[in-house]
Structure formats: C-alpha cells, structure tokens
C-alpha cells in the first residue's frame, strides 16, 4: 500500500459535491429531484464573454501566459476595483488564478503551519477550515450569529486573536448564510485590528456584486489594512463562469512574490482563452449582471416568504449572495437528518448547516440559483413532507 502523508487525513471536502452526486444518482434511477443545493448561478455565461473566449482560441492564444496573468486582464481588474470601490490598486498586485478557491489556498499555505492559529467564519465556506487543517495550523472558528443577520461580533473576533494568530478570514456577503456584515461592524473590527498589526486578513468578496440592499463594503476601502490585506475575488459568481476557472487575488506588495511563486509551483498560469473572456466580462456591458442579480432578488423574496410558511422553519432575509440559511430546529430534526430526508423522501436537495462548520447545526442551506417555478415546487414538497412527518 502506498503510504500517504499525515496531512492528507486533515483535508476535508465540500458536501455540496456529495449531495450533487447523490441527487444525480437518484435522477438516474428515474426520481425527479429539485436541486437547491447547488452553489452556482443557473444562468449561462453572457454571450459576449463566451465570444471573447472563442475569439482568443481562434486568434491562436494557445500557449502559456505570464504566471501572474496577462497585463490587459490585470489592468481590467484594477479598473474594475476602482469603478466598484473607488480604490487604486496596481495591476502588479493582481494575481490571476484558476478560480476563487486558489487565492484562499495560497493565503492559508502562506501563513498556516503547526503552532499558528487562523480565524475563519463558522458557519462558513467549508474549504477554509479544511485547508487550515491541511496546513497544520489550528482553525479558530469565528461565530456568526443568526440574530445579527449572520454577521460577527467585532469584539468577539478581536478577543479570539492571540500571539499565535497569523490570518483572519472574512467573507461578506457570505456563503452559506447570505449574511452581509454592516459597515459599523466592519469599522469596529478594522479599528481593533490596529492593535494587531502582525495579523494578515483574507477578505473573500466573491459575492461582492450580489447584494440586495445597500452597497458592498470592501475591505480594500480601509487604507490602514492595505499592507496586510489579501482580496479574493473572481468571475465565477458575478459572471456565471464557475466552469471557466478564473479568479484573482490582490496581494500586498510584500506578499505578492510569494503568491506568484506558489502559482508557478502549482499551475504555471491560467488558461489563456479564459483570461481573454475575463477581460470581456470586466469591460463589457453590465446589463447581464444586473439582470441576473435582479432575478436573484425576486427569488429571494419568494423563497424567504415560502420558507417562513413552513412549520418549524424560521428564515431571516439574507442580504446577499444567492443562499438562504433558515433555522430548522423547530422541525425537531437535526440538519443532517433533514438534509437526507428531504433528498430521499421529498426529492429536494439542500445542504445541512453542519457541512459549513459546527455552528451550522440547526440550519439548512438553500440556494436560490433555481427558477421560481422550481423553488415553489420544492417548498411545496417540503411542506407536504413536514406535514406528514
Ligand atoms: C465564499 C466562497 N468563496 C470562494 C468560492 C470559490 O469560487 P470558485 O468556484 O471561483 O473557486 C466559493 C464558491 O462556492 C464561495 O462560496
């Protein structure tokens, strides 16, 4: 038997992929399954972006690109951040990577090792905790509170910082809760971080353009963090490009070379045609994004109202992303059991809150990246199941 490294036992996974596999297996058996477990827009990539990718291939862009990404794409990222947040970043700080996840992996690899602490949101994107464990660091959960719209308490987060803390991960708007951290809370956290200048911050803002009220508060707008802030963003959600594998990190000057070296060791560069498509996304018409976000906004109203009508379910209105995270403790079921029963008996795929960390017990994640008809039918099925249970 080959002998694996001990680290491999630390690596977790994303249950969304397991649920998807089970949902597909049931479908192959002839069952009709409505999938509200999925974490990607149910829209195609806008045509002008697809066309730019096609043209790049036809024009012969078939070779390696620079490891950090082609300059026009990095310039387009810098211009987009200026348009959205009014901030100035140099294209030289932008590292183009194959998807949003890669910036997360690199940041954790850069700071994580045995003896180091990394603070991460819980319930949160499961890969944070998985990769922290893989690095050998200790994952320190930052509790998100239902009664605060799934924001954190800045004082509670600051109290988690110890001399071992190397990195804090933030994610707003958030997966799986749809929670958005209010500016007042972010201000208090940033003010408190002034007392901990040695702690780096990874801000995962991949849902930054999927906001239904107010404006997105980007950590890039706090100049006092500039020398230790890593911004994670990408094209997957905003432009419905999950399969293209395109994302970026904006790194402080002092960290950039390390991140680029990780890229060279890992993947050399990102698919060239995808990079040209990425330019078209950032510089082209914004109407497709507006239309998609408007559709999500309507579905949010529908799903929240429908879930709140179910017995034992309490669903706050999420501020962003395309997820809602209702409290299901009133059903008398734990999250994992309810996830299983809804899939097997009601034919609706959802994800147990515990897939996002221990503080996710008592919640289920619903994605509303599905048609209004599918959402309506799914909630009807769940209602019938709960009534019969
Ligand atoms: C919070 C969060 N960050 C990052 C990612 C990763 O995005 P990508 O598919 O671009 O790697 C996801 C995807 O679901 C996410 O929910």
Strands, sheet with 323-324, edge to edge from the N-terminal-most edge strand: 323-324, 364-367, 351-352
**Residue bearing the CA closest to ligand 1, atom 13:** 39
Q: Is the pLDDT of residue 47 over 90?
A: yes
Interval between CA 198 and ligand 1 midpoint (Å): 27
Closest residue by Cα to residue 324 from 343, 342, 354, 351: 351
**pLDDT per position as a tens digit, 196-234:** 999 999 999 999 999 998 889 999 999 999 999 999 999
- Provide the b/e sequence for 172-199 (b: ≥16 CB within 10 Å): bbbbbbbbbbbeebbebbbeebeeeeeb
Q: How much is the pLDDT for 328? A: 98
Mutate to test the pocket of ligand 1, among 100, 325, 356 (most ligand atoms within 8 A of CB): 100
pLDDT band at 20; cut points 50, 70, 90? confident
Confidence band, pLDDT 50/70/90 cuts, at residue 13: confident
Whole-angstrom distance, CA of residue 33 vs CA of residue 133 = 34
Give the pLDDT band of residue 254 (cuts 50, 70, 90). very high
Q: Which of 13-22, 37-46, 113-122, 212-221 has the lowest mean pLDDT?
A: 13-22
Whether ligand 1 lies within 6 angstroms of the CB of 85 is answered as no
- Mean pLDDT for 94-116 is 98
Mean pLDDT calculated for residue range 180-207? 98
Q: Band the pLDDT of 339: cuts 50, 70, 90.
A: very high
Instruction: Name which of 247, 161, 152 is nearest 200 in CA terms.
Output: 161
pLDDT for position 87: 98
Segment 49-55 shows an average pLDDT of 98
Is a pLDDT exceeding 90 seen at residue 270?
yes
Question: Is pLDDT of 38 > 90?
Answer: no
Determine whether the shortest distance from the Cβ of 236 to ligand 1 is under 6 A: yes
Please state the rounded mean pLDDT for residues 170-186. Answer: 97
Residue 15 has pLDDT above 90, yes or no: no
Edge-first strand listing for the sheet containing 94-97: 94-97, 247-250, 229-234, 200-204, 165-171, 117-122, 138-143
Going from the Cα of 204 to the center of ligand 1, the distance in angstroms, rounded, reads 9
**Does the pLDDT value for residue 79 go beyond 90?**
yes
pLDDT score for 379: 97
pLDDT beyond 90 at 320: yes
68 lines ligand 1 (CB under 6 A): no
pLDDT computed for residue 293 by the predictor: 97
Straight-line distance from the first to the last Cα atom of the chain, in angstroms, rounded to the nearest whole number? 47
Q: What spacing in Å lies between the alpha carbon of 206 and ligand 1's midpoint?
A: 7
Ligand 1 in reach of 204 Cβ (< 6 A):
yes
- Check: CB of residue 46 under 8 Å from CB of residue 284: yes
For residues 80-89, give the mean pLDDT: 97
Model confidence at 319: pLDDT above 90: yes
Q: Is 99 in the pocket of ligand 1 (CB under 6 A)?
A: yes
Please compute the mean of the pLDDT values over residues 372-379 and round it to a whole number. 96
User: What is the predicted pLDDT for the residue at 17?
Assistant: 82
Is the shortest distance between the CB of 37 and ligand 1 below 6 Å? no
How many beta carbons lie within 10 A of that of residue 94, not counting itself?
25
Choice from 95, 106, 125, 322 to test ligand 1 binding pocket (greatest atom count within 8 A of CB): 125
The rounded distance, in Å, linking the Cα atoms of 349 and 208 is 26
Pick from 13, 38, 98, 101 the residue to mutate for probing ligand 1's pocket: most ligand atoms within 8 Å of its CB: 101
Mean pLDDT value across residues 75-82: 98
Q: Does 245 sit in the ligand 1 pocket, CB within 6 Å?
A: no
The model's pLDDT over 144-170, given as tens digits with 9 standing for 90+, comes to 999 999 999 999 999 999 999 999 999
Q: Is 125 in the pocket of ligand 1 (CB under 6 A)?
A: yes
Establish whether residue 171 lines the binding site of ligand 1, counting it when its CB lies within 6 angstroms of any ligand atom.
Answer: yes
Is 154 touching ligand 1 by the criterion CB < 6 Å?
Answer: no
């Amino acid at each position: 038997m080959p002998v694996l490294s001990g680290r491999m036992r630390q690596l977790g996974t994303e249950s969304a992929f397991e649920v998807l596999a089970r949902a597909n297996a049931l479908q192959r058996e002839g069952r009709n399954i409505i999938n509200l477990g999925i974490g990607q827009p149910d829209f195609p990539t806008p045509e002008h972006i697809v066309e730019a990718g096609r043209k790049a291939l036809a024009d012969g862009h078939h070779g390696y690109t620079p490891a950090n990404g082609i300059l026009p794409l990095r310039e387009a990222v810098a211009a987009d951040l200026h348009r959205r947040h009014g901030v100035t970043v140099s294209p030289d700080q932008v590292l183009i990577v194959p998807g949003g996840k890669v910036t997360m992996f690199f940041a954790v690899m850069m700071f994580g090792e045995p003896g180091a602490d990394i603070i991460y949101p819980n319930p949160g994107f499961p890969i944070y905790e998985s990769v922290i464990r893989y690095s050998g660091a200790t994952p320190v959960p930052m509790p998100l509170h239902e009664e605060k719209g799934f924001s954190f308490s800045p004082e509670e987060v600051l109290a988690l910082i110890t001399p071992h803390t190397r990195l804090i991960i933030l994610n707003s708007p958030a997966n799986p809760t749809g929670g958005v951290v209010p500016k007042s809370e972010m201000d208090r956290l940033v003010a408190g971080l002034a007392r901990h200048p040695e702690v780096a911050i990874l801000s995962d803002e991949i849902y930054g353009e999927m906001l239904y009220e107010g404006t997105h508060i980007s950590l890039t707008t706090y100049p006092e963090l500039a020398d230790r802030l890593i911004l994670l963003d990408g094209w997957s959600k905003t432009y419905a490009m999950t399969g293209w594998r395109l994302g970026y990190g904006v790194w402080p000057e002092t960290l950039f070379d390390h991140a680029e070296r990780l890229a060279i060791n890992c993947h050399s560069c990102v698919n060239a045609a995808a990079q040209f498509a990425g330019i078209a996304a950032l510089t082209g018409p914004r109407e497709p994004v507006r239309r998609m976000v408007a559709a999500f906004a309507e579905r949010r109203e529908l799903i929240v109202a429908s879930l709140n009508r179910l017995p034992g379910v309490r669903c706050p209105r999420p501020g962003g992303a395309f997820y809602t995270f209702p409290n299901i403790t009133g059903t008398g079921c734990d999250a994992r059991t309810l996830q299983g029963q809804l899939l097997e008996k009601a034919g609706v795929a959802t994800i147990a809150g515990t897939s996002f960390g221990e503080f996710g017990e008592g919640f289920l994640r619903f994605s509303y990246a599905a048609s209004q008809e599918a959402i309506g039918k799914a909630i009807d099925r769940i209602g019938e199941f709960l009534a019969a249970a």
